[in-house]
Amino acid sequence: MAILLFIVFIDLLGFGVIIPLLPFYGKHFGASPTEIIWMMACYSLAQFFFSPILGRLSDKLGRRPVLHISLVCSVAAYLWLGFADALWMLYGARLLAGAGAGNIAAAQAYITDVTTPQTRAKGMGLIGAAFGVGFTLGPWIGGQVAGNGQTLAALARPAFVSAGLSALAFLLVLALLKESLPPEARHGAARPSRWLLARQAFGRLTLRRLILLLFTTVAAFAAMETTFALWANSAFGWEQRQVGNFFLFVGVVLIIVQGALIGPLSRRFGEARLVVAGACSITIGLAGIPFALSLPALLAASACLALGMGLLNPSLNALISHEAAVDERGGIMGVSQSGASLARIVGPAAAGPLFSFFGRDAPYYMGAIVMVVAVAMALRILRGARAAAIGKPAERAS
């Protein structure tokens, strides 16, 4: 598992490197705030379609081949981004990168293969920490590589760094990563299509609630994520380097929570309680950003956001994986990641017009309102988990 975590870290490092530059890249080609946000969201559009496909392929072929395919897509996408000389090329490169981002479902399925139900939340936390480290260092590296210059050459440099990192991750998978899915699990009964699998997942009450909660939370968070560079530029005059430093801070909090705290906390309180706590913390963070007119206030609100995502995301993924059989985990995780990808389309699609027509704070107010709904959903899941726990002794006695 250590090799997979390092590979995920390298891959997410490459993804994170370009985060600070994308809004400024779009502005270089004359894009409006709404066009910039859609340019960032089209990554998730492709991920929405390809996550279930790659998840099912990982159930059929194994996890390694899917990781190979997705990393080749990532390398090609970052090279295309680096050589882009028109806005449509930015859109095309982001779509190709999103198609390759289905490897997240394969990586999560790999974790479920090598962990037990009791250690699953810790495993999801570790992979979340690998995401967090990559996402932490990546934007900071991207900000340093690009600097505050607005020339095309300065903006393109982080894209070439990302291509090199994804190529390194590909070589590590090729040379070091062992297959986690045994042949007998790969070549079982015929598997349902991606749409049938999605319908079956939503036909299970618990899975439907978990995936809808994931969708709601990610939509609110993505609205913040895609507008923050524009918000910080308006509120504080920040450019690429300062935005990269901000994401470094957010990532450090995520690393601490997911890498060190989530395992002990899940054993002590259970995943369902952590989901409720995470949803509450995200709500506070989103509601606080519009009032954060000083750096300490902004850091406090952002720490609430990072703490909430650090608690909620691995706990929710662990709960989802508990609902999947061993031969469908890749597909189920693909469906959940596809839901998350759809949320990363819906959130920015709403945030762009809100930012443009109602001001820089509007996406954060809306996100906080959406998270109130998410808290109510999380409480319902917690009640269901408590009822199931109470019912188990009775079932054994009957």
Tens digit of each residue's pLDDT (9 = 90 or more) over 273-322: 999 999 999 999 999 999 998 999 999 999 999 899 889 888 888 888 77
Q: Calculate the alpha carbon distances from 332 to 151, 184, 240 in Å.
A: 43, 19, 37
Check residue 139 and give its pLDDT.
72
Check residue 289 and give its pLDDT.
93
Asked whether the beta carbons of 124 and 17 are under 8 A apart, the reply is no
Residue 84 inside a domain? The answer is yes
Amino acid at 321: S
Residue whose pair of structure tokens reads 């949320």 in the numeric block? 343
Q: Which residues of 167-184 are buried (b: 16+ CB within 10 A; e: fewer)?
A: bbbbebbeeebeebbeee
Structure tokens at 208: 């439907």
CA angle 95, 124, 127 (to 5 degrees): 60
Check residue 396 and give its pLDDT.
35
Asked whether the beta carbons of 242 and 228 are under 8 A apart, the reply is no
Asked whether the beta carbons of 17 and 142 are under 8 A apart, the reply is yes
Check residue 252 and give its pLDDT.
83
Range of the domain at 8: 2-177+194-397
Tens digit of each residue's pLDDT (9 = 90 or more) over 36-87: 777 877 777 787 777 777 777 777 788 888 888 888 988 898 899 888 888 8
Residue 270 inside a domain? The answer is yes
- Count of domains in the chain? 1
Tens digit of each residue's pLDDT (9 = 90 or more) over 310-336: 898 888 888 887 776 666 666 677 677
* CATH code of the domain covering residue 64: 1.20.1250.20
Check residue 184 and give its pLDDT.
65
User: Which sign, positive or negative, has the C-alpha torsion 293, 296, 301, 303?
Assistant: positive
Amino acid at 120: R
Residue 186 inside a domain? The answer is no
Asked whether the beta carbons of 18 and 136 are under 8 A apart, the reply is no
What is the mean predicted confidence (pLDDT) over 219-226? 84
Residue 187 inside a domain? The answer is no
Residue 189 inside a domain? The answer is no
Helix, strand, coil percentages in the chain from 3-state DSSP, rounded to 5? 85, 0, 15
Check residue 391 and give its pLDDT.
54
Asked whether the beta carbons of 315 and 275 are under 8 A apart, the reply is yes
Burial class (CB in 10 A: 0-12, 13-18, 19+), 296: exposed
pTM: 0.68
Residue 182 inside a domain? The answer is no
Residue 238 inside a domain? The answer is yes
Residue 73 backbone zone (phi > 0: left; psi -120 to 50: alpha; other: beta)? alpha
pLDDT band at 398 (very low <50, low <70, confident <90, very high): very low
What is the mean predicted confidence (pLDDT) over 165-192? 73
CB count, 10 Å around CB of 213? 25
What is the mean predicted confidence (pLDDT) over 340-353? 81
Residue 183 inside a domain? The answer is no
Tens digit of each residue's pLDDT (9 = 90 or more) over 86-116: 888 888 988 888 887 766 767 777 777 777 7
Tens digit of each residue's pLDDT (9 = 90 or more) over 191-202: 555 566 667 667
* Residue 90 C-alpha from the chain's centroid: 21
Which residues, other chains included, contact 246 with Cβ-Cβ below 8 Å and sequence gap of 6+?
A: 139, 228, 232, 238, 298, 302
